[in-house]
Structure 1
Amino acid sequence: MRNKTIEVLGKAISEGKGLQINLDIAKLHTRTKIEVPVIIERAKESGPTILITGGIHGDEINGVEIVRQLVAKGYHKPQKGMVICIPVVNIFGFLNQTRQFPDGRDLNRVFPGSKRGSLASIFAYHLMKEIVPLADYCLDFHTGGADRFNAPQIRINEGDEESLELAKSFGTSFIMQSKRREKSYRDSAIKLGKKVLLFEGGKSLDIDKTITKVGITGALNLMHHLGIRDFSKELASKAKVSEPIIVASSKWIRANHSGMFRSNAILGRFYKKGDKIGSISDPFGFFEKDVKAPVKGYVFCINKAPIVNKGDAVIHMSVEK
């Protein structure tokens, strides 16, 4: 029997209705209530529910921008099922433009949380208890941390064929089959039986138009594929992505010297072992050392930091067998 009314955070959402509610389980030390807007649109016709999130890390602004545009352009209004959007999950970090929660913890390392743990853990607990169980599919938008700029990619649980097909429908050039990180949002949602796609693109504290465009188009592709809404008209003018590159293994290239780093690598390009992909020099003009590809593969992340220390990760490559 169809459920005519769904209750979210104590609010009833009837078929064909939309609602914005606030997840407000925490306060600042000034006793100021911090509210996390949860934007819900439900169709008259039954269908799957997708939860779309951004800003689990407060400084990953590009993910916030993607979800914001989905709402601003009305793409979150379904013809079947329900769409739940949380543009900024970690509103605390977003306010301060930092990755962490005010308690210094990384929200994406404390799931599924606990009722009486740290501030981040309490928040994770309520998200997993009140919101995630409603979803069938989760689409989570991230960027590279610090100065690491990621090529647009979807990360999925390795060995999950259904998620692989969903990732292909999204339409990024790269699909990363990565192991689940314990206590992450993705790991906890998968344990609840949800299908989770994690998008990575761009870097923190930055909004890149190309990354935003890929993220929005991918979300429309996915919702179209799931039958949530017909986006044929919106997608008609979009360029089709060729067969995606599936990355099962990857390697970080680390700086052999401290100094000024210049990358010659181009995101998405294939390099052979021994190809020059960057250089590191001192600031005085006495030495300059090449950074060479230690394996053959595709470059899908570049550290944009101009200054690096020995051992810093500078370029991330796939490992092609």
Structure 2
Amino acid sequence: MKKPLIIAGVEIEQGQSCQLELPVAKLYTNTEVAIPVHVIRAKRSGPTLFVSAAIHGDELNGIEIVRRLIKQPPQLIRGTLILVPMVNVYGVLNQSRYMPDRRDLNRCFPGSAQGSMAGRLANIFITEIVKHCDYGIDLHTGAIHRSNLPQIRADLGDEETLKMAESFGVPVLLDSTVRDGSLREAAVRRGAKVLLYEAGQALRFDELSIQMGLSGIQNVLSQLGLVRKKRARKKIEPFVANRSDWTRASASGFVHEFVQLGSQVEKGEVLAEINSPLGELIQQVVSNRAGIIIGKQNIPLVQEGDAMFHIAYFGEADDDVFEHIEIMHEQVMPVSTSMARPEP
């Protein structure tokens, strides 16, 4: 039996694709605000997957990933793909992580129809989108002035979720428990298997992060059987980090870094120096263990206690992880090729 799919009062039949707007609320100016949604349905029944971006309004990489998916849509052989380029439309308008009520939308799920603005938006997204879905991929970036190496965070203790994470095609997997109030927690509670993709930094497009996210979604669609399997490029082996920690500033001052995102570091290695405005060395920042830099602060100013380098630990597999990070960089097409200037 064909499964009906109704979003915002619009019924989308199998074999159809459509774009619609999911009404949320009005601004002070009486301007309607709506979440844009793009739906692709195959003629054959199958699982439904949502891809969401910009739950934090300053996280823009995911918007571009979804735009490229819409521009060159996957050829589904079964099932349904629901693409949501902007969940927190308010935040995108204001180039802000948060909602206008200063709430973090990703701590407000599942929300309430009678709650705050953030709670109402969360409730709408759950009742109109997530309730239809068996799987989900939520796209994120680092916070303001922070960058993340492309990585997947998920409940890797769940066998089906682990298979999705491994198929995505990034070197770093973090076994991450769900956070209270997050979209991932609310979706998992409703039976969906969800991956969280972290890559890049806020308010910037990063081509490595975008291309890896795009290929990762296509890999998951293939693994779930929604699209035909394609000949894979050189395989990027995923590795599960057994632990990750932030190395923090032990003093305040100006930062001179010696490592980059994706660098392999050894125990006792100097990661950065903290200097006074007059150039005097105040403190060295040293790695406590061997590992891989999967996140870092970008602004060259720190206060004592600030998080500076996010290091993932893989034990004896560090060398292998670094090798596959290099493979990941090699697979990124130049911007001039992937985004050629159109004819006028």
TM-score by length of 1: 0.95
Please say if 1:101 is aligned against 2:99.
Answer: yes
CA contact (8 A) 1:178 1:248 kept: no
* Contiguous gaps of at least 5 residues in structure 2: 316-344
Aligned to 2:341: none
Aligned to 1:249: 243
Aligned to 2:165: 167
Aligned to 2:301: 307
Aligned to 1:27: 26
Aligned to 1:283: 277
Aligned to 1:274: 268
CA contact (8 A) 1:263 1:302 kept: no
Report deviation, 1:101.
0.6
Deviations 1:63-89 (CA, angstroms, capped at 9, x unpaired) = 1111111111223x5221111000111
CA distance in 2, matches of 1:251, 1:7: 43
CA distance in 2, matches of 1:272, 1:245: 18
CA distance in 1, matches of 2:62, 2:119: 22
Deviations 1:161-217 (CA, angstroms, capped at 9, x unpaired) = 211111010000100101211111111111111000000000101101111111111
CA distance in 2, matches of 1:319, 1:221: 26
CA distance in 2, matches of 1:262, 1:16: 55
Q: How does 1:227-238 map to 2 (within 5 A)?
A: 227-230=225-228, 232=230, 236=232, 238=233
Aligned to 2:155: 157
Aligned to 1:16: 15
CA distance in 2, matches of 1:262, 1:193: 46
Aligned to 1:258: 252
Q: What RMSD over aligned residues (CA atoms) do the two structures have, in Å?
A: 1.4
Secondary structure at the residue paired with 2:211? helix
CA distance in 1, matches of 2:313, 2:12: 48
Q: Return closer, same or farther for 1:166/1:260 CA change in 2, 3 Å cut-off.
A: same
Aligned to 1:240: 235
CA distance in 2, matches of 1:28, 1:248: 45
CA contact (8 A) 1:220 1:231 kept: no
Aligned to 1:43: 42
Report deviation, 1:119.
0.2
Letter in 2 for 1:23: L
Aligned to 2:176: 178
CA distance in 1, matches of 2:22, 2:105: 15
Report deviation, 1:287.
2.4
CA distance in 1, matches of 2:229, 2:28: 45
CA distance in 2, matches of 1:213, 1:16: 27
CA distance in 2, matches of 1:64, 1:45: 28
Equivalent position to 2:201, from 192, 200, 203: 203
CA contact (8 A) 2:5 2:132 kept: no
Higher strand fraction (1 or 2): 1
Runs of 4+ in 1 over 6 A off after TM superposition: none
CA contact (8 A) 2:251 2:282 kept: no
CA distance in 2, matches of 1:197, 1:165: 11
CA distance in 2, matches of 1:142, 1:320: 23
Letter in 1 for 2:152: I
Report deviation, 1:288.
4.2
Please say if 1:298 is aligned against 2:296.
Answer: no
Secondary structure at the residue paired with 1:47? coil
Letter in 1 for 2:33: I
CA distance in 1, matches of 2:157, 2:140: 22
Secondary structure at the residue paired with 1:186? helix
* Contiguous gaps of at least 5 residues in structure 1: none
Secondary structure at the residue paired with 1:144? coil
CA contact (8 A) 2:55 2:87 kept: yes
Report deviation, 1:262.
2.5
More divergent stretch after superposition (260-269 vs 201-210):
260-269
Q: How does 1:120-135 map to 2 (within 5 A)?
A: 120-135=118-133
What is the aligned length? 315
CA contact (8 A) 2:38 2:83 kept: yes
CA distance in 2, matches of 1:137, 1:270: 33
Aligned to 2:312: 318
CA contact (8 A) 1:144 1:202 kept: yes
Aligned to 1:62: 61
Report deviation, 1:25.
2.0
Deviations 1:90-143 (CA, angstroms, capped at 9, x unpaired) = 111001100001111010011000111110100001111111011111011100
CA distance in 2, matches of 1:286, 1:272: 26
Secondary structure at the residue paired with 1:117? coil
